[in-house]
Amino acid sequence: MKRFLAAMVVVGALSATTPASADELWMYGAVVCQGDRAMVRFAAAYNETAPVFSAPPAAVDRGLSRIAIRDPSTCTFDDGRVVHLAHTMLADATPYGMAGGISSNVFTLSIGDRVLYRRDAIWRTREPFQTLATVIIEPERVLECRYTEGSLEPEQPGRPQTCTNASQRLAGLEPDRSRGAPGTLHLERSAPGEEGFCRALVVPAARLFSSPLDAWPAFVSSLPAEMIVDREDARYRLRDKLLADGFDLDNDGVHDRPVLIESEGNYIDAAYWALPPRPVRERRIMRADAHDFTDNVDTLRAEGWRVFAGDQTTYGEIRYVTLTPIFRFGDTYFHARWAVPNQPLSDLVMRPGPDGGMDEVCVFTVVPAL
């Protein structure tokens, strides 16, 4: 039998009822078909322990939970259509959100070339903390059954599930091939007059631009050539140079000495910029100090700090958005990336202003691929 699909989570930061930090919590998913019906179930297990899948209410189960799991990733309807479950971990397995030791496990579920769920969350790390336990697919409807209390803990199989109708997933989900090849960037929208600028950011045949250096090297013409040979490190080198030299952050024509706030971890995985109301000695705020700064951004803004951060973007979140400066004809822009890559919007380009706000210039999505 094929190994169950799984994604690993390190659980050292879970609640006190969780086993020792050396244990590892695995998320599992499995799909079965019968006639024109299918059921996907999710379960959790520590270390090498086999998962125990719970059954949904009998009225909606109707025997599906008794079918043996032959291949957890795929099954076939009587009419030949294939149901496929792709159960994956986010790119770097870094845990985010209020449930600190739990990564946002995601899954994609398709019938033929129709995608019903695309990188949807199983175990939510933000409110409401309802955990998806079962999905039932029928010819005319889709049902979602969730644990409405607690999380998907392996010690609690058999807990009651509450099912709701999610039949909207059956409509309008045919792949849109006009948006480009799967895995490439698609320009979702742009500010008036900026479409050419936005399209020029995209590297042909590239999945996405991991930094503006990859997209348009002219943006970093102020860097010595030898500093942009290693693209992986170029973004950090650019930040160091901008901190040392300063730049016009808010596009008011005045050379600024901004402050960079950055941290890479569970509580904060972000980098953003600020202009203090008066000169400060420390112009790079990191780690615990970055946590304190972020938790008090509203107060700091009220005291006169102009803080340019992810909460001013459509992401609406300060703690998990990285802003990297890019430059065009003397103006400053920010390339905004969400730390967790299962967001519908992949990349944003923002233009900061003297009032402390930012205007949206470009919005990109990644063309979905199973």
Position 203 pLDDT exceeds 70: no
Tell me: pLDDT of 194 over 50: yes
Q: Which pLDDT does position 296 carry in this prediction?
A: 95
Which region among 3-12, 75-84, 192-201 has the lowest average model confidence (pLDDT)? 3-12
Which of 246, 263, 254 is closest to 325 using CA atoms?
246
Give start and end residues of each alpha helix (H) in 246-367.
287-295, 297-302
Residue 239 burial (C-beta neighbours within 10 Å; 0-12, 13-18, 19+): middle
User: Which phi and psi (to 5°) does residue 59 adopt?
Assistant: -65, -25
pLDDT at 3 over 70: no
- Reported as a pLDDT band with limits 50, 70 and 90, residue 244 is confident
Is residue 27 very low, low, confident or very high in pLDDT (cuts 50, 70, 90)?
confident
pLDDT class of 136 with cuts at 50, 70, 90: very high
Residue 185: beta bridge partners? 366
Residue 21 has pLDDT above 50, yes or no: no
Q: What is the torsional sign of CA 150, 152, 155, 157?
A: positive
- Between 225 and 326, the more confident residue is 326
Residue 223 pLDDT greater than 70, yes or no:
no
CA 249 to CA 257: how far, in whole Å?
A: 8
Task: Please write the tens of the pLDDT for every residue from 278-311.
Answer: 988 888 999 889 999 999 999 999 999 999 999 9
pLDDT at 217 over 80: no
pLDDT over threshold 60, residue 222: no
Check pLDDT > 80 for residue 257: yes
- Average pLDDT over every residue of 307-322: 92
Altogether, the residues listed in the chain come to a count of: 370
- Model pLDDT, residue 281: 84
Q: Evaluate if residue 94 carries a pLDDT over 90.
A: no
Tokens 């102009």 correspond to 306
Between 204 and 8, the more confident residue is 204
315: confidence class by pLDDT, cuts 50, 70, 90: confident
pLDDT score recorded for residue 127: 52
- CA-based nearest residue to 25, from 128, 161, 160, 155: 155
What predicted TM-score, i.e. pTM, was given to this entire model?
0.62
Question: Who's near 316: CB < 8 A, 6+ residues apart?
Answer: 310
Residue 264 binned pLDDT confidence (cut-offs 50, 70, 90) = confident
The pLDDT of residue 271: 92
Query: Residue 124 and residue 144: Cα distance in Å, rounded?
Result: 14
Q: Is 303 helix (H, G, I), strand (E, B) or coil?
A: coil
Q: What is the mean pLDDT of the chain?
A: 76
**Given this model, what pLDDT does residue 254 score?**
95
Phi, psi of 298, deg, nearest 5: -60, -40
Helix (H) or strand (E) holding 132: strand 131-138
Average pLDDT over residues 314-333: 86
Q: Is the pLDDT of residue 85 over 70?
A: yes
pLDDT the model gives residue 260: 95
Picking from 344, 345, 348, the residue whose alpha carbon sits closest to that of residue 362 is 348
- Which range is least confidently modeled, 24-33, 167-176, 248-257? 167-176
Report the pLDDT value the prediction gives residue 316, as an integer from 0 to 100: 87
